[in-house]
């Protein structure tokens, strides 16, 4: 596996996407930066963390093995890999908050951003970007954020955690390639934050409502049970979980 380690870059997702446009990348090429100057999160948000203290990296995956109907599986694989590693490190109450956050003790410890690589006008590959809070213990202007060090009191070696994450990610990718999709989704749903509990959501038109998370679709929509036993499916732009 090729790991490109950078001291600084704007965003590892952007770096890997441009690399993929310039050259034919081997599967699982990883770009890891100790500092990002323009780290990006879901829905146009920023991902800013202190340099040298956290993991910010992106993995390149060809799209051919993943059908349109299985689009959400690489994200589930990445989320489960992070969840497993955090559990191995004895981080408490690790949950996956749909679609792309990992929480410990109801606080965000990791975010994942998956982006498509378009080559010659066609969907070619995916870039899976992971921001995991490792040794940072203070955040300006952010609440409900945590890190491995905040949870354990232990300072960790970034390379060691990266190796653990990549190994675990490969384990799930193999499951995915072997067609073991049900087991991946079952595992993801078992660790889904607030599954089977009445929760308050905010629609994009600012209306609040109560729903109970039932699971996710293969394309990544959240399945909610609502008033009058109605089941609805939502994508990320359509609602926010208030907690």
The two structure tokens encoding residue 140: 């300006």
Instruction: Answer yes or no whether residue 168 interacts with ligand BTN by CB under 6 A.
Output: no
Q: How far is the CB of 93 from ligand BTN (least distance, A)?
A: 19
Instruction: Answer yes or no whether residue 31 interacts with ligand BTN by CB under 6 A.
Output: no
Tell which one of 19, 34, 42, 209 touches ligand BTN (CB under 6 A).
Answer: 42
Stretch that binds ligand BTN, among 33-41, 72-80, 142-150, 160-168 (CB under 6 A): 33-41
- DSSP states of 122-141: EEEEEEEEEEE--S----TT
Nearer to ligand BTN, 114 or 184 (CB): 114
Instruction: Answer yes or no whether residue 29 interacts with ligand BTN by CB under 6 A.
Output: no
Report how many residues bind ligand BTN under the rule CB under 6 A: 21
End-to-end CA distance of the chain: 39
Instruction: Answer yes or no whether residue 47 interacts with ligand BTN by CB under 6 A.
Output: yes
Q: Is the peptide bond before 208 cis (omega within 30 degrees of 0)?
A: no
Contact 210, 199 (CB under 8 A): yes
Question: Where is 21: in which H helix or E strand?
Answer: helix 12-22
Tell which one of 17, 25, 30, 39 touches ligand BTN (CB under 6 A).
Answer: 39
Instruction: Answer yes or no whether residue 111 interacts with ligand BTN by CB under 6 A.
Output: yes
The H-assigned helical ranges of the chain are 12-22, 73-88, 148-152, 158-177, 181-190
The phi, psi pair for 157, rounded to 5°, reads: -80, 125
Site for ligand BTN in 88-107 (CB under 6 A): 100-101
123 DSSP β-pair partners: 118
List contacts with ligand BTN (CB under 6 A): 11-13, 36, 39-42, 45, 47, 56-58, 100-101, 111-113, 129-131
């Amino acid at each position: 596996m090729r790991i490109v380690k950078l001291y600084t870059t704007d965003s590892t997702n952007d770096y890997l996407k441009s690399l993929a446009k310039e050259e034919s990348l081997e599967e699982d090429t990883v770009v890891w930066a100790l500092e990002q100057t323009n780290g990006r999160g879901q829905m146009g948000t920023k991902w800013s963390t202190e340099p040298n203290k956290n993991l910010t990296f992106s993995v390149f995956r060809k799209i051919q093995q993943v059908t349109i109907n299985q689009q959400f599986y690489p994200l589930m694989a990445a989320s489960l890999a992070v969840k497993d590693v955090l559990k191995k490190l004895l981080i408490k109450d690790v949950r996956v908050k749909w679609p792309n956050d990992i929480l410990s003790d109801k606080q965000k410890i990791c975010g994942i951003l998956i982006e498509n690589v378009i080559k010659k006008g066609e969907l070619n590959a995916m870039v899976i970007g992971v921001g995991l809070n490792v040794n940072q213990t203070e955040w300006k202007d952010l609440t409900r954020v945590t890190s491995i060090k905040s949870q354990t009191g232990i300072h960790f070696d970034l390379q060691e955690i990266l190796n653990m994450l990549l190994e675990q990610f490969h384990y799930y990718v193999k499951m995915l390639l072997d067609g073991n999709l049900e087991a991946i989704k079952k595992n993801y749903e078992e660790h889904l934050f607030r599954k089977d509990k009445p929760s308050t959501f905010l629609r994009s038109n600012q209306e609040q409502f109560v729903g109970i998370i039932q699971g996710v679709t293969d394309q990544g929509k959240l399945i909610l049970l609502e008033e009058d036993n109605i089941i609805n499916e939502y994508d990320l732009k359509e609602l926010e979980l208030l907690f």
